[in-house]
Amino acid sequence: MKVMTLINASRRHAALMRRRILVWEDEPERGDVPGWVLITVMTAGLVAALWLVAEPLLSGMFTSAVSGVAGP
């Protein structure tokens, strides 16, 4: 009896997954996952490049501000 229940549950699950895949394929606003990955990687690259350029300037500004607050 338990084996038949598991088989039926497995068949229902397979049917549900087939139906879900068909709905996903027909959905027009599913999005472009590789495009979003590319945008994320490019953004991270731009931030890293800007940080390399700006880091010495930001460190100098921070050091100047802290020494100005702490006094001579």
pLDDT at 21: 65
State the pLDDT at residue 48: 94
DSSP the chain: -HHHHHHHHHHHHHHHHHHHHHHHHH-TT---HHHHHHHHHHHHHHHHHHHHHHHHHHHHHHHHHHHHHH--
Spans of the chain below 70 pLDDT: 1-4, 6-8, 19-33, 70-72
pLDDT at 72: 57
The ranges assigned to domains in the chain are 1-30, 32-72
- pLDDT, tens digit (0-9, with 9 covering 90-100), for 43-60: 999 999 999 999 999 999
Token readout for 31 is 């999005």
Q: What local confidence, expressed as pLDDT, does residue 14 receive?
A: 77
CA dihedral 39, 40, 44, 45 (to 10 degrees): -40
